[in-house]
Copies of this chain bind each other. A is one copy, B any other.
């Protein structure tokens, strides 16, 4: 089916994700990827749409993996337990696959349908997990933004070494999520007028 077979898009994406995790996102260049695959850079264009295209594919791949991780963690749980499990899974994913996680947020193309769908699945999962708190539609959407901010902010700062102090990060995260949940319960029904 293909002359000198060996490469296809999936292989490229997976190899690029490894590069990202091992060397950091800066180092995932077409030159480095080609070298890793034993091929010349221009050959990659048979499978991907240049560096931008590769980044978009990486983002989709990363979001799919992240979704799978979060979904598995929350499966069968609800309420606080589900939120905690999902949150820990999110941050653990960012820890284990730092490069791939980073690509998730660095998607250049907005109108890429596969990218949008991967993002929406995660959004729906978070909405679902927050469903048991019966917040009402608008408050729930604000809470989704809140939880996403918390998880991404924590993962991002931890990765960038922003947490200097010698303090267990897992405890920080667990407390952060628990505190936010407690706040949600306490503020339920408030109109937030200042």
- The residues of A with any CB-CB pair to B shorter than 8 Å are 84, 105-106, 110, 119, 123, 138-139, 141-143, 145-146, 148-154, 156-157, 160-165, 167, 169, 171-172, 174-176, 178-187, 192, 194
How many monomers of this protein are in the complex? Answer: 2
Residues on B with beta carbons closer than 8 Å to the beta carbon of A164: 119, 123
When the two chains form the complex, which single residue of B105, B156, B161, B171 contacts A110, counting CB atoms closer than 8 Å?
Answer: B161
Q: Can you list 27 A-B contacts (CB < 8 A)?
A: A84-B194, A105-B156, A110-B161, A123-B164, A139-B175, A141-B165, A142-B167, A142-B175, A145-B163, A146-B172, A146-B176, A149-B149, A149-B176, A152-B156, A152-B157, A153-B154, A174-B192, A174-B194, A175-B187, A175-B192, A179-B187, A182-B182, A182-B186, A182-B187, A183-B184, A183-B186, A185-B186
Residues on B with beta carbons closer than 8 Å to the beta carbon of A172: 142, 145-146
Given A153-B148, A156-B153, A179-B183, A142 contacting B171 (CB threshold 8 A): yes
Q: Is the interface of A mostly helix, strand, loop or mixed?
A: helix
